[in-house]
Amino acid sequence: MKLLRILAAILLPPLGVFMTLGLGPAFLINVGLTVLGYVPGIIHSLWVVLKSYEHESIDRRAYENAVDQSRP
């Protein structure tokens, strides 16, 4: 899924943002940036997609630490 989101972010930037965050402010910003210029749209889309994976890995580590601490 990660590779698919990255490819979508490069080929069709708003799709990459939509697949990551859904409809929202980031999607609208990306549509605007893509209309103004394809490269700014790609940069923003890649930033959104890669940043979301960073947050997911931090959340996963925090959850695993909490589970480990709750075990006797």
The upper half-sphere exposure of residue 50, i.e. CA atoms within 13 Å in the direction of its Cβ, equals 10
Contact between 5 and 16 under an 8 Å Cβ cutoff? The reply is yes
Contact between 29 and 44 under an 8 Å Cβ cutoff? The reply is yes
pLDDT tens-digit map of 49-65: 998 877 766 666 766 66
Residue 2: pLDDT over 70: yes
Measure CA of the first residue to CA of the last residue in the chain; give whole Å: 35
pLDDT tens-digit map of 19-59: 999 999 999 999 999 999 999 999 999 999 998 877 766 66
Give me the residue spans of the domains in the chain. 2-70
DSSP 8-state symbol, 12: S
pLDDT at 18: 94
Residue 71: pLDDT over 90: no
